[in-house]
Amino acid sequence: MRSGPVCLPVLIVLALGVLAPLTAAEPQPLFNRNNLDGWEIWVDAAGPAAEPASLFRNEDGVIHVYPTQTEGTTQPFAGLVTRRDYSRYVLRLEYRWGATRFAPRHDSVRDSGILFHVYELGRIWPAGVECQVQEGDTGDIWTIGTRTTTKTRKDSRNYGPDGAPETRGGKDARYARFGRSYCWERPGWNELEITVNGPTAVYRLNGKVVNEVVNMERWNAASGSYEPLTAGRILLQAEGAEIFYRNVTLQELAP
């Protein structure tokens, strides 16, 4: 992990706050109840071969991840990815863990996640920012091939709304993590809300703010500098655990 200087634009964004009310359109479903039109499936080429359509199934409006795979078998990681980019929106969904787990994570806690502002095509895992969905850790920030800033407490270096800005990730660190403030996950269905406003984001689990991205950036090799990361695709992970997603909606925000 690495920390970088907090530049003036970051402080301005922080001062304005990312929790301010925003004008929004009506929420729209991201899934119809018949198929996965509008989405595509990417499969990790380094894992075992699998038919992409076998990894995600729409069951009357519920997305079933690893729907028929046998417990303990080796399965590839994969992503269900929107075909278009989004920039300013509120993504809401409910998730529930299934019973089965798969190698190479069959002995690990159940794991999944939601990537947004994805800007690499076809790769698992592609560059973007993740809201971790994992037993006991839902709400962690994973920065993948990007640089992000959040507010962290001195005692734990996890997220704290009154913490100091800290930057991690970047061109020399493919993966970096910011821990959530607290995990409000409960048995059964959980409500997850991700409010993304260009280069900022707020994570809420069951109505509680658990993490906040103050600033997101990507490296521009041509210019030799970082630039704001303000848009990209959305990806739902298949990461070795059966999981269900339902009531997936997206509410676009005015610029």
Note the Cα 249 to chain centre separation in Å: 15
Domains of the chain: 8-19+30-252 (2.60.120.560)
Q: For the residues 41-66, what does the mean pLDDT come to?
A: 95
Model confidence at 132, in pLDDT bands (50, 70, 90)? very high
Q: Which residues lie across from 152 on neighbouring strands?
A: 159, 164
Q: What is the pLDDT of residues 192-221, one digit of tens each?
A: 999 999 999 999 999 999 999 999 999 999
Q: What is the DSSP letter of 133?
A: E
Angle at 41 between CA 35 and CA 47, to 5 degrees: 140
Q: Is residue 28 pLDDT above 60, yes or no?
A: yes
How many percent of the chain have pLDDT more than 90? 83
- Is residue 149 within 8 A of residue 167, CB to CB? The reply is yes
Name 162's Cβ contacts closer than 8 Å, sequence gap at least 6. 151
Model confidence at 156, in pLDDT bands (50, 70, 90)? confident
194 closest CA partner among 135, 114, 127, 107:
114
CA gap 40, 94 in Å, rounded: 20
Model confidence at 35, in pLDDT bands (50, 70, 90)? confident
The number of CA neighbours under 13 Å toward the Cβ of 60 is 0
Note the Cα 186 to chain centre separation in Å: 19
More confident site: 164 or 11: 164
Angle at 64 between CA 116 and CA 26, to 5 degrees: 50
Whole-structure pTM value: 0.89
Q: What is the pLDDT of residues 106-119, one digit of tens each?
A: 999 999 999 999 99
Residue 136 burial class via C-beta count within 10 angstroms: exposed 0-12, middle 13-18, buried 19 and up: exposed
Model confidence at 25, in pLDDT bands (50, 70, 90)? confident
| pLDDT recorded at residue 144 | 98
Q: For the residues 43-60, what does the mean pLDDT come to?
A: 94
Model confidence at 24, in pLDDT bands (50, 70, 90)? confident
CA gap 75, 56 in Å, rounded: 13
How is residue 48 written in tokens?
């075992």
159 closest CA partner among 134, 133, 178:
178
Q: For the residues 69-95, what does the mean pLDDT come to?
A: 97
Q: Is residue 176 pLDDT above 70, yes or no?
A: yes
Residue 147 burial class via C-beta count within 10 angstroms: exposed 0-12, middle 13-18, buried 19 and up: buried
Model confidence at 8, in pLDDT bands (50, 70, 90)? very low
Q: For the residues 134-139, what does the mean pLDDT come to?
A: 93
The least confident of 12-21, 22-31, 105-114, 229-238 is 12-21
| pLDDT recorded at residue 45 | 93
Q: For the residues 93-106, what does the mean pLDDT come to?
A: 97
CA gap 75, 90 in Å, rounded: 31
